[in-house]
Amino acid sequence: MKYGFRVVRKSQGGFTIIELLIATAIFSVIVLIATSVIIRIGQQYYKGVTVAKTQEVNRNIMEEMTRVVQFSSADISVETPVNPGDPDYPTRVFCIGDTRYFYSLGTQFKAPYSTAQSDLGREGLVAQRLNSGFSCQTCLNSNPSCAGSTQQLLAENMRLQQFSVVKIANSDAWSISVAVAYGDADLMSNYSAGRFTDITNARCLTGVSGSSFCAASRLDTIVKRRVQ
């Protein structure tokens, strides 16, 4: 009896090293492109959130100033700052109706803020409501006992660029200008050597790292008083 044996050879299929390198390179490029797109979308999202938040805060301030001017019969009482602070960013104070405002142009607000009378206005814009029965003329800075609650009108990381309430000559109308910026100082123009040379006209820089976290908003209006 004869037995026969047949050898069966199977072809060894697979990828060569060159093919694997090419596939890896293509996959890496796809991942890189996808990552870049995701980062770009994220930057645009945060930019939109930052702009919307800055505009909302600015609108709220403008609405408050419009209200107090419209329904206050007393003229604005300009007072000596309670604490001059940094000569580049002095604390400014003015009062209208039953509210006194402390502010400093260019200084960034960082929570929490001090409610001590001598610290008000060193950062951001603080509204101090006067107690019932008192007005700007009867409640001076030297008499803090007549002052009530305080409220910071800016959000975290925001700074005041412009805050002006001026009576238009020979009329009963008032011009109000409010400008607010969000972001660190180095993300804005007109900033060098640790200070702003012109905070009012400073703008967010483009094409720099972190620019998606910078936004500026300015509102101007003219208001007539309803109370004489």
Residue range 162-214, pLDDT digits in tens:
998 888 888 888 899 999 999 999 999 999 888 899 999 999 998 788 788 89
Model pLDDT, residue 2: 55
In this structure, what are the phi and psi dihedrals at residue 205, rounded to the nearest 5 degrees?
A: -75, 150
What is residue 130's predicted lDDT score, i.e. its pLDDT? 86
Of 140, 163, 156, 144, nearest to 218 (Cα)? 163
d(CA 101, CA 117): 12
What whole-number distance in Å separates Cα of residue 6 and Cα of residue 190? 88
pLDDT band at 77 (very low <50, low <70, confident <90, very high): low
Stretch among 92-96, 124-128, 178-182, 220-224 having the lowest mean pLDDT? 92-96
- The yes-or-no verdict on residue 142 having pLDDT over 70 is no
**Who has greater pLDDT, 74 or 190?**
190
- What is the rounded average pLDDT for all residues in the chain? 82
Q: Which amino acid is at 224?
A: K
Q: Is the peptide bond before 84 cis (omega within 30 degrees of 0)?
A: no
pLDDT tens digit sequence for 33-51:
988 888 788 778 888 889 9
Contact between 128 and 100 under an 8 Å Cβ cutoff? The reply is yes
Tokens of 132: 């019932």
Instruction: Identify which has the larger pLDDT, 221 or 98.
Output: 221
- Whether the predicted pLDDT of 83 surpasses 60: no
Q: Is the pLDDT reported for residue 12 higher than 60?
A: no
Statement: residue 86 has pLDDT above 80: no
